[in-house]
């Protein structure tokens, strides 16, 4: 939710945010904090990621069976096969350590993604 709030504060209505949740509650919460549209479930994710300009989320959205099994193999494959650039925040519920990445508080990661990396990607789109 912090990421969507920050995107909305930084970009306002100049970008369209489509919130894709693994479940309806997640999609609804993202819509409440500022996403323009929302959908949930495997098919919505698989179909939508084919047509977006950038994919943003926790790194675990690219891992089959992550988030207690909510990220299906088909979802992870669709995300990684999408031609869109991907900006991942190194957060997961899984017992995984990403070597070379220093632990930072979520607000710092969001700020870096929104104010630095996303601007680079949007410049190229």
Give the pLDDT score at 125. 62
Give the pLDDT score at 6. 94
Q: Hey, what domains does the chain have and what are their CATH numbers?
A: 2-115 (3.40.50)
Residues 6+ apart with CB under 8 A from 11: none
Per-residue pLDDT of the chain (125 residues; tens, 9 = 90+): 899 999 999 999 999 999 999 999 999 999 999 999 999 999 999 999 999 999 999 999 999 999 999 999 999 999 999 999 999 999 888 999 899 988 899 999 999 999 999 988 887 76
Residues 6+ apart with CB under 8 A from 75: 22, 42, 45, 46, 61, 64
- The pTM of this model reads 0.91
């Amino acid at each position: 939710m912090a990421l969507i709030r920050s995107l909305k504060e930084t970009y306002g209505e100049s970008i369209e945010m489509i919130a894709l949740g693994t479940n309806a509650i997640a999609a609804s919460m993202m819509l409440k904090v500022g996403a323009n549209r929302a959908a949930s479930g495997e098919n919505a994710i698989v179909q939508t990621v084919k047509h977006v300009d950038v994919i943003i989320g926790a790194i675990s959205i690219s891992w089959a069976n992550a988030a207690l099994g909510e990220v299906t193999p088909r979802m992870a494959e669709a995300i990684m096969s999408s031609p869109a650039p991907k900006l991942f925040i190194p957060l997961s519920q899984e017992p995984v350590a990403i070597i070379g990445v220093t632990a930072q508080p979520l607000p710092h990661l969001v700020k870096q993604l929104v104010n630095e990396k996303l601007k680079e990607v949007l410049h190229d789109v």
